[in-house]
Structure 1
Amino acid sequence: MSFPILIAYIGLYVGTYYLSPTGPGSEHRDGDSGRIPPLAIVLTLLGPEIIQKTFAVTTAMSKTESPCFGFGWLAYSLSLLSSVTSSSGDVMPKPECDVQVLDMKTGNRRSNKEFAVARLLRGLETRSVPPSIDDKFDQDSEVVVEILQPTGISSASTSLRNLLQSGSLMTAILQFCLAGAFWFYYGDLSPLLLLSISILLIEATASLPVWTAQKNASFTHRSRNSAYALMRDTDSPPSRIYIIQPSSTASTNDASMTTHHATSTNASNPCVSPIILIAGAFLSQALLYTQLSDNAAIAMLIIMFCGTISNLAIVAMPRVPQVDGVKLGSVGVMKGEGSVVEVLKDVEARFEGYGDVLLKQCFPEMIEKWEGGTEKQRMGEMD
C-alpha cells in the first residue's frame, strides 16, 4: 500500500515539473483557450457514490477487479477520509433494498443494514431459478423457497483466465492505449503521466485495511454455524425465500474468523494517514489539470468517461451469488401450483424444521390450516 503511494508522489513531482510554465509540457498550451481543463476538475467532484458502490462490490466479491479511474475520485477520497475518521467508520453504502434475515435455528428475525446482504439477495433474485422436479414456473407458485449451500468453489480466483476477463483490467488497458495514442500523435506526455498516478492511487486505496474490516463485519460471520433465510422486507408475505445453509467447514473456521474479525475491525485507525496522503495526491493531481492543454484535457475527459462507464457496469451487472468468497449452489427448490402450506410442507419434508420456522415467522395466518392438514394426515396414517 505504501509503495504505490510513494511512486504516485514521485509521479506528482515529475508531473508538476512537466506541466510547469517552464516545463516541457508548456509548449502544448500555446494558443489554447484554457476553458476545457477546469471541466476535468469539476468532474473529479461528481459521482463519488458510484465509486463507493464499486468498491463495495469488488472488495466483497472479486480479487481480480477494482474501481476504474473515472469521474468523482477527488470527492470520494475526501469522503472516505471523513468516514474513516468519524465514530462510525462505515465506508460501505446503504443497502439497495430492505431485506429480512431469519435465523433458521432460533427463529430470530431482523432487518438487514448491510450493503453486501442486499446485494446477495439481488444476485439471487436476478439469476434464473433452477426448475423444480415437476418443471413448473415461478408464476404458478404463491411462494418459492430455494435452499442453497456453499460449493467450496472460490468466486474470487486470481487465475490468468479470470484476470483476462476482468472488466477493470480491460478498462485500464483501454485507457492506457488512449493515453499512449495521444502521446504518439501530439507528443504530450501529460495524460499518460496523470493516468499512471491515478491507477497507483486507486490500487493503494483498494489495499486499505478498512475494506477487510468492513468485509469481516458481514452478518455471515455471526451465522456461520446455522442456516439463515433472506427475503424482501415488505408489508405482504414474501414470495421468494432463499435459505443459505452453513458451510461444512464453518465449525472449524469459526474461531479463527472470530479472531481475524477482531483484529481487522481495529485496523481502521491506521488507515487515516494513507487516506490523507491519497486524498492529498488526488487534490494535487486535480490542480495539475489547470495546466493541461485543451487537447490533453479532452483526452483526460475521454479516459475518465471510459472508467466511469466501467464502474457503472461493475455496479449494475449481476454476479454469481457467493458467501465469504465461495459460490453458492442450489440444493433444492420448492414451488408449484399448490398453496403456501403445501409448499412449506414440502420444505419441512426435505429439510426438517425449516418449514415450521418459515410458517411461524413469515406466514402466521396459515398456522391453523397447517395444523388442520397435519391432523388429517395423522388420522389417515392411523386408518
Structure 2
Amino acid sequence: MKTFFTWSMLSVLITISCNANHKSNSELAFQNEKNHLIETTKTDPNTRNIQVALLLDTSNSMDGLIDQAKAQLWEIVNELSYAKCGHNTIKLEIALYEYGNDGLPSQEGFIRQVLPFSNDLDEISKELFALTTNGGNEYCGKVITTSINQLNWKKNNDHLKLIFIAGNEPFTQGPVNYKDAATDASEKDITINTIFCGNFRQGIDTMWKHGADLTRGEYSAIDHNRETIHIATPYDDIILELNNKLNGTYIYYGHRGAQKRELQAEQDHNARSYSPANAVSRTISKSSGFYKNKSWDLIDAVEDESFEVEKVAKEELPVELKDKSEKELKQYIAEKSNARKEIQGKINDLNKKRMQYIKENSKKDDSNLETALLNAIKKQGREKSFSWEN
C-alpha cells in the first residue's frame, strides 16, 4: 500500500584566532547545545504551543496505521499551520513513541521514544518512515505514563497539550493501570485522545473510549487498513516545480548543514514515494511558518536577532561562499531570502486554489488517522482560544 508525522544542534562557530577570548569550535558546539536546551524550556509569553505526542502501536497488525501516518503527516501539519490564538505566535511540537513491538526492550515495557518534542519536520518525517512492525505486547497505560514523564511538557495551561494513542488491543493490558495514567495526565493538563484501529463498539468494550473520557479527550475508531486517497489537482505540477526552486534558496552552514540538506531532499523523496499529491502537501508544509531550519539554514538563522552571520567560520559554509566577503555574504543571504518569500507566496496562492478544487472533488472520509487527529485537536484547541482559518 502506498500512502505521516531532534532538534539539531545550532552550530555557530566563531573563527579561531590567537585572541585568548575566542572560544574553540568544541566549546562553541557545547555552548550551542546548552543554549538549545534552554530555548526549548523557556517560556515566551507571546507564544502558544501545540504539543502533540503520537503513541503508535507497531505490532504486526498495524502496518496500515503506520502507512496512514506517513501518508497524512503533511496534510495534518498544513491544517495545523492555519491555527490562530489572538496575536500569539503558534509553535507546533510533535513527539513520537512506538509500542507493542517485540523488537523493543522488554524491560522498558516494549516501548521506545522515537523522537522527543521537536519542530524539525524533516526529522519527524525521517523517523516515521523508519518505523517497522513486529509482534508484541501492547501496554497502553505504560506508554502513556512514559510519555508524560519523559517529555518536556509546557507548564503553562494556556498551551495545547495532547496525547494521541492508536492501537487495537485492550486498553487494560500491561503493568500500569490506564486510570492512573489518566490521573497523571489530568494533573499536567494533558488530554488523552484514543484511536482504536477497528470496530467502534469493540473499542468501547475494550476500554479505549473510557481511556479518553477520563481526561475529556476524544475517542475515535478508524479503518487503519484503508488506503489514503490523494486528490490530484491542476495546480500540482506547478507547485512541485516551485518546490525545486524553493530548495535552491537554502544555504546550509555548520558541521551538520550538508547532512541536514540531504535529509530535506530525502524527505521530499519519501513524500513522492506515495504520490505526487503527497509531495505537493509536503511542499505546502515547507511554505508554512512551521517549517524552520535555523540550526542549519542561514536564511532561517538570520531571522534571530541574536545570530551573527559574521561569526560563522568560513570552513562551515558551502564551497561557493567560502571566498565571499562579509558584505557579499550578507547580500547573498538577503537575495536568497527575498527569493524564498516570493516562491512561498506563489505556493500559498496556488494552494488556495488547490484546496478549493479538493473540496469540490472529494468525498468526506471520517475513518482515517488524519480526521481523528484534526477533529480532536481543533475541538480541544477551541477550549483554549485557538481557532483555525485558511
Which of the pair has the greater relative contact order for Cα pairs under 8 Å at 6+ separation? 1
* Bin for the TM-score computed over the shorter chain: under 0.3
Please, what TM-score do these two structures have when normalized by structure 1?
A: 0.25
Please, what TM-score do these two structures have when normalized by structure 2?
A: 0.25
Rg larger in 1 or in 2?
A: 1
Instruction: Report which of the two has the higher share of helix.
Output: 1
